A and B are shown apart, each in its own frame.
Chain A
């Protein structure tokens, strides 16, 4: 009988405990790794105004599509390009480029063109093994043409590689811009 009494007491205690807990509202989570914004700055070596290509998706994997700013290049001009990645869900915005550069061994940017766009690209920065990283690059605009220019950031690619086809790894970013060389 003692056992039963103990059990009854245990049950009521637990019911009491169940009845009394009520917590306050939880805190919001700031997404630390989301890349909301990719900005490519192309500075022409002829001293002209910088060209800005940008894709910005403030709701990350939410339903809104990214907002894309395209730009036009001038034929025959060489541009020094740099890529900045931001997480703008945080305030102030977090610069993700720094993280990518710190982990240069496991990251690489790729530049691909389609539609006959006549531009050539070359890497300007490298990882500790001397393999491509590519947050800085040189772009030479060729003949008059239009097409797309895509920037792909791969996480843990095979290094060295000959391009996207044999790079493997996982795509962290794929940003495509409509570009014309005028």
Chain B
């Protein structure tokens, strides 16, 4: 933009020169860094009409110059514009050097230290800033759901766990600003601790091919990146406000960035979100409010060949869990299931009572990079995360305000990455990672630890090489090795220890025996290999074919290994298994893509075959004094997931498009030959978008989303004796809800306030028809309907 301004300025200040001059000035313009000749550089002599461009040989020539001193402005789209003073005396030769790579420099800022390319042979699904801003008052999972093949496992509507091609929790790795999130992500009711407003770009890799991030992403990788900062003197920001009718709350978010031409930059960002009880079409969903606060600060320094950055963020979230979902055993469950409405419905309130979660996540990272000539770009990163998760239960007496679960997870990671261009066609990325993690469960909760105290050390190393075979074909291959050591202190109930035969199998890990508990010290080691192999082929101008095969290995998480006891929020007893091995997934994914303005689509079939797949499913009913509880046991089996994701976009008319999506996934337990639990049902969505950039960028869209009934599910119903009626009654926990159809409306318009500020006003209505529905992937579906109609009013100011 500035270049144009200068050009205008220059051209408007032309004065006539009347001198008899016939000298010439010629020469070349080269890149300051690698000495390459630059093509298409514009050179303008101030105060004359003369402007020339360098040709394909990088040379230029001015003619008819006098013996004088000239001021020449040299500019190139990818370089900083520079001015030179040149003394012409006769025919003169002069070479100029420009600082190239400004664009690339910005790129580095976006991608963090190491991740310029995520994967070249798997389709990257991205959500851009504009799309993310529409979800400003929601969560990361809400936004991700807008991608085909990505769904979510919900606990109510505020705990939204992303699910990629039917897999979630520990099988989905989330990278936030280059840092792998370690936020107790094993829990199905633990939402990712990321403020959606701090994210500028979201990418989903539906597979484990991003080996630079991890080798255990059996489901896939989600990459959240903050915005890029330009290398120029600037001060800018934006503020967003959303007010919503459902939940009667609002979200406020602001971001301010200061940048300097010399490479320094700083960004401060913060979000405040508060909602009361949400509402289904017919009733209040009591105790479903949310109170989220977050802030982040980034300070960095970027040059072409070196740079560093420090980042800190704090995220605090208080989430109410639907009161009616807290049950004391199977008989309560029968009451809840047979009731049309939730068992507890109170008046609307902003108060968040038990059961609730209160989670604080700190993330601090410092990273730097340096480019070495003929060697590559070396990046180093250290990050620290502290996750403190408090879960409050409905309790009695003095314990009422005491958390039932209080876990603190600290993680330190050091990453060293090298990206080198071995030749023009071959790029090698390699690196090593070391991580130390410590989990401490506060013993003062008065409830036995859900997750034991442990220390974990990881060591990982990887390489990924890609080879541009020719103009059309790119090949990619990579491998990764991870070693994990866990040092655990776990208290087992003596009765459980003996019933599992652990006293025979693992007598050596016993540290001491208490009255009815046994303290053990399991030391576990896991060696995991993972690999990827892929190709990307360009067919003609519009078509592309991606092929990717990946192997992922995932060590069992602490919940799968050590769970042992009543899980109140799920009204079930969960049991892990100390003898689990890593699960190993083989995924083959194909993508056929067409991209042009009129019609673009991609079709993405895949098959994921997983050995040692860890499932959690009901096996038994156990009698306790509190009543009968279903026992869910973790089990390893062989699983297979097959599916296809389709996206299509068609230009119906000028400014008007139809966007369609279709996702299908089928999951099977191959050992038992039955369907896997919690697989997303088939869904189709169609959206008509009208957007006119010439009329205040007005945008109107109407989306129709149809979710089918899930017909493939394992039967996990059980029977329980009811003393009131003296009958055995079936507890139907496995039946799936009916299909449903939702209409969503979205609109926005831009208003220019002044030269630098822009106001965007938006109105969004979700569930326009106020349809009552239940979603199979909502863990509270047996207790209440999902959200009713919601009006959201958005204001955004860019300045």
Contact = CB atoms under 8 A, between A and B. Distances in A.
Given A29-B449, A29-B491, A102-B397, A174 B366 contact: no
Give the most central of A15, A25, A28, A175: most B CB within 10 Å: A28
17 contacts: A7-B382, A18-B412, A23-B453, A23-B455, A26-B441, A28-B519, A29-B449, A31-B446, A57-B624, A59-B516, A61-B626, A63-B495, A64-B495, A64-B499, A150-B724, A170-B332, A175-B625
Interface string B373-396: 000000010100000000000111
B770 to A, nearest CB: 27
Contacts of B624: 57, 60-61, 66
Given A3-B308, A7-B368, A172-B328, A29 B625 contact: no
Contacts of B516: 58-59, 89
Contacts of A131: none
B414 interface: yes
A33 B396 contact: yes
Contact of A14 (B344, B414, B512): B414
Interface in B478-520: 489, 491, 493-496, 499, 511-512, 514-517, 519
A57 to B, nearest CB: 5
B619 to A, nearest CB: 12
B306 A3 contact: yes
A173 B446 contact: no
Nearest to A25: B489
Give the most central of A8, A62, A114: most B CB within 10 Å: A62
B496 A29 contact: no
Contacts of B445: 29
A61 B438 contact: no
Given A14-B412, A100-B396, A155-B328, 17 more contacts: A3-B306, A3-B308, A11-B382, A18-B436, A25-B519, A26-B440, A28-B517, A32-B447, A59-B496, A60-B625, A61-B566, A99-B396, A168-B343, A170-B326, A172-B328, A173-B626, A175-B625
B595 interface: no
Contacts of A22: 455
B370 interface: yes
Nearest to A88: B516
Contacts of B443: 26-29
A160 B499 CA distance: 43
A59 B494 contact: yes
B489 A174 contact: no
B394 A170 contact: yes
A55 interface: yes
Nearest to B384: A14
Interface of A: 3-4, 7-8, 10-11, 14-15, 17-18, 21-23, 25-33, 35-38, 55, 57-66, 89, 91, 96, 99-100, 102-103, 112, 114-115, 148, 150, 155-156, 164-165, 168, 170-176
Contacts of A61: 565-566, 573, 622, 624, 626, 629
Given A59-B493, A64-B495, A172-B328, A115 B446 contact: no
Contacts of A26: 440-441, 443, 453, 489
A171 to B, nearest CB: 4
Contacts of B579: none
A152 B395 CA distance: 17
Nearest to B514: A28
A14 B724 contact: no
A35 B457 contact: no
Contacts of B256: none
A29 B441 CA distance: 10
A23 B517 CA distance: 20
B625 A173 contact: yes
Nearest 8 A/B pairs, CB to CB:
A32-B446, A171-B328, A99-B397, A59-B495, A18-B436, A62-B495, A61-B566, A62-B493
Contacts of B629: 61
A33 B395 contact: yes
B327 interface: yes
Contacts of B517: 28
A9 to B, nearest CB: 11
A164 B495 contact: no
Contacts of B176: none
B635 interface: no
A118 B423 CA distance: 92
B673 to A, nearest CB: 29
A62 B449 contact: no
Interface string B256-290: 00000000000000000000000000000000000
A118 to B, nearest CB: 15
B404 to A, nearest CB: 9
Interface string B645-657: 0000000000000
Interface of B: 306, 308, 326-329, 331-332, 343-344, 366, 368, 370, 380, 382, 394-397, 399, 412, 414, 434, 436, 438, 440-441, 443, 445-449, 453, 455, 457, 489, 491, 493-496, 499, 511-512, 514-517, 519, 521, 565-566, 573, 622-629, 723-724, 726
Contacts of B724: 112, 114, 150, 164-165
Contacts of A155: 328, 394, 396
A28 B491 contact: yes
Give the most central of B326, B394, B514, B625: most A CB within 10 Å: B625
B401 to A, nearest CB: 13
Contact of B447 (A4, A33, A174): A33
B309 to A, nearest CB: 11
A59 B63 CA distance: 97
A170 B666 CA distance: 37
Contact of B366 (A10, A17, A36): A10
Given A4-B370, A14-B414, A148 B511 contact: no
Given A31-B446, A63-B495, A172 B626 contact: yes
A152 B449 CA distance: 27
A147 B406 CA distance: 44
Given A25-B521, A62-B496, A63-B496, A11 B625 contact: no
Nearest to A115: B726
Contacts of A8: 380
A44 B764 CA distance: 70
A51 B513 CA distance: 36
Contact of B434 (A15, A31, A57): A15
A51 B326 CA distance: 35
A25 B449 CA distance: 14
A77 B511 CA distance: 54
A176 to B, nearest CB: 6
A10 B519 contact: no
